[in-house]
């Protein structure tokens, strides 16, 4: 992945603003850095997985856990074995927790009380909350490695040589966004506005915004309906 400085230089070159001894004339470094940061935020809004990261967190007693930072949990890794934890149905996990009456006991491995996560589920209404099963016993310190969709980073000039912390496949979209924002400055030029519009359309097309909206509409989501489903799917 290119650094912040390389991305800004590339965008400026694409905007034909890198003539000899007259670099960054029309769009200065500060503007392009702002466009880069706003582009990262826009990508995070639609494709949060572009900023996935891992963090070890300490679990609280019980089943309900809260992500200290980040957007939502996408995976859990058992730090003891390095194996992924199974993702379960969140409605069933939450419903059953109230009915489960067996005592919560730690597992003893080599004589040491240990917690072993077996399954987890992300709360659909609040992706920062996730549930683990079995419950974490009280008084036991347990930790897991959480894979989460993160927030977009915000860069300054001090980060000029730092690689952009984003999946490579969205790099071109970021450049498209930066160029679109740059062209939008030229409000008096219809050509520039047209360029900006085309670049923004390409950006949102890759983000899959139209596809998601159409899918949600066809599923009846906005009307509270159950939807027609995929006619190609055959009920078993």
Binding stretches for other proteins (CB under 8 A)? 86-89, 92-93, 96-97, 100-103, 105, 118-119, 121, 133-135, 236
Q: How far is the CB of 230 from other proteins (least distance, A)?
A: 14
Contacts of 184 by beta carbon, 8 Å cutoff, 6+ apart: 192, 193, 196
Which parts of the chain fold into alpha helices (H)? 4-14, 29-46, 90-99, 171-184, 190-207, 209-218
Are the beta carbons of 45 and 56 closer than 8 angstroms?
Answer: no
What is the CB-side half-sphere exposure of residue 171 using CA atoms within 13 A? Answer: 15
Nearer to other proteins among residue 14 and residue 147 (C-beta): 147
Q: How far is the CB of 233 from other proteins (least distance, A)?
A: 12
Q: How far is the CB of 53 from other proteins (least distance, A)?
A: 25
Which of 16, 45, 15 has the alpha carbon at shortest distance from 170?
45
Which helix (H) or strand (E) segment is 75 a member of? Answer: strand 72-78
88 DSSP 8-state letter: -
Q: How far is the CB of 102 from other proteins (least distance, A)?
A: 4
176 vs 192: CA distance, rounded Å: 13
Nearer to other proteins among residue 118 and residue 169 (C-beta): 118
Which of 6, 51, 75, 71 has the alpha carbon at shortest distance from 169?
51
Nearer to other proteins among residue 135 and residue 164 (C-beta): 135
Q: How far is the CB of 125 from other proteins (least distance, A)?
A: 17
Task: Name beta bridge partners: 168.
Answer: none
Q: How far is the CB of 116 from other proteins (least distance, A)?
A: 9
Nearer to other proteins among residue 101 and residue 110 (C-beta): 101
Nearer to other proteins among residue 119 and residue 167 (C-beta): 119
162 vs 4: CA distance, rounded Å: 6
Nearer to other proteins among residue 7 and residue 63 (C-beta): 63
């Amino acid at each position: 992945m290119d650094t912040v400085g390389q991305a800004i230089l590339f965008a400026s070159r694409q905007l034909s603003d890198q003539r000899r001894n007259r670099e960054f004339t029309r769009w200065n470094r500060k503007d392009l850095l702002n466009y880069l940061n706003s582009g990262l935020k826009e990508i995070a809004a639609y494709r949060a997985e572009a900023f996935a990261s891992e963090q070890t967190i300490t679990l609280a007693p019980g089943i309900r856990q809260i992500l200290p930072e980040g957007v939502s949990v996408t995976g859990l890794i058992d730090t003891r074995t390095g194996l992924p934890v199974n993702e379960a149905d969140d409605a069933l996990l939450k419903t059953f927790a109230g009915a489960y009456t067996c005592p919560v006991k730690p597992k003893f491995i080599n004589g040491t009380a240990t917690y072993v996560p077996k399954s987890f589920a992300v709360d659909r209404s609040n992706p920062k909350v996730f549930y683990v099963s079995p419950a974490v016993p009280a008084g036991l310190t347990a930790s897991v490695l959480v894979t989460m969709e993160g927030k977009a980073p915000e860069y300054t000039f001090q980060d000029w040589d730092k690689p952009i912390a984003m999946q490579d496949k969205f790099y071109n979209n970021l450049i498209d966004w930066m160029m679109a924002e740059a062209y939008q400055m030229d409000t008096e030029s219809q050509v520039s506005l047209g360029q900006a519009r085309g670049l923004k359309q390409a950006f949102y097309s890759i983000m899959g915004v139209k596809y998601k909206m159409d899918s949600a509409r066809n599923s009846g989501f906005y009307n509270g309906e159950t939807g027609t489903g995929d006619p190609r799917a055959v009920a078993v």
